[in-house]
Amino acid sequence: MTGTVQAETNWYMVVIPCYNEEQRLPEAAFLSFLAAPPPGLRFLFVNDGSVDNTLAVLHRLQEDSPRLVDVLDQPRNMGKAEAVRCGMLYAIATGASITGFWDADLATPLSELPRLLDLMLTKPTVDIVLGSRVRLLGRSILRKPIRHYSGRIFATMASLTLNLPIYDTQCGSKLFRVTQVLREALATPFGSRWIFDVELLARFLVLARNQRPELGEPALAVYEEPLRHWADVDGSKLKVSDSIKAFGDIWKIRRTYFKS
């Protein structure tokens, strides 16, 4: 693990999980963004046991922007869920007041990040901001039809499971305010490999309901923001078999966290 995190009153760390991203990581886009990032924002790139030269690419980014980039190297591949969990725990341990995760391929472009971060900063009662891929006029949301329609079915099932009117659970751009609820939600590894997003929300909602009754319904702490730009990126590691397993995991999450 390498990094140059320094003490500040308020700073924010976004986790970028990376597995064999040597050819897919848009290095130039990250460098351009890091040239003038929002105040207090840093990135933590988690190398999840890559067997290509991903780690070398991440170290180049860190060498170029040592005050803004940390690298966490996990020698053994543990999967995206664990890479994100370990990265967010690292962010919390080093003092970030907001953390979250972003897909390394930048399907959600970095231009969306300041807007989502600003929502967290201007809405102090909101604990979670979720990027949402909603095809609206004036927006550029480019999804393959099969992924869009299967995603709508999945999102409907996830919404029913969570009892939360959420439109898009699987968009890879999410921010979380660091609270005791979040710490406890991240305390143990996720049971689901591909839909850890849903499991994290389930843990968060159950814990918030138990620990923060003054908020009323936990859904009030979650804010979903339609993205202005999003595009499918070739080379996704999600297989058809993984999609099938994801639907099965929905029922496991329901049994585990919402038994009543």
CA atoms within 13 A on the CB side of 192: 27
* Distance from the first to the final alpha carbon of the chain: 42
pLDDT beyond 70 at 198: yes
Per-residue confidence (pLDDT) for residue 3, from 0 to 100: 45
pLDDT beyond 90 at 5: no
- Percent pLDDT > 90 in the chain is 76
Contacts of 236 (CB under 8 A, 6+ apart): none
Per-residue confidence (pLDDT) for residue 11, from 0 to 100: 95
CA-CA distance, 185 to 182, in Å (whole number)? 5
Per-residue confidence (pLDDT) for residue 248, from 0 to 100: 86
Per-residue confidence (pLDDT) for residue 210, from 0 to 100: 74
Per-residue confidence (pLDDT) for residue 151, from 0 to 100: 86
Domains of the chain: 1-106 (3.90.550.10), 107-260 (no CATH)
Q: Is the pTM of this model over 0.75?
A: yes
Per residue in 123-177, pLDDT tens? 999 999 999 999 999 999 999 888 888 888 999 999 999 999 999 999 999 999 9
**DSSP class per residue in 137-149:** TT-EEE--HHHHH
Q: CB of 202 within 8 A of CB of 161? A: yes
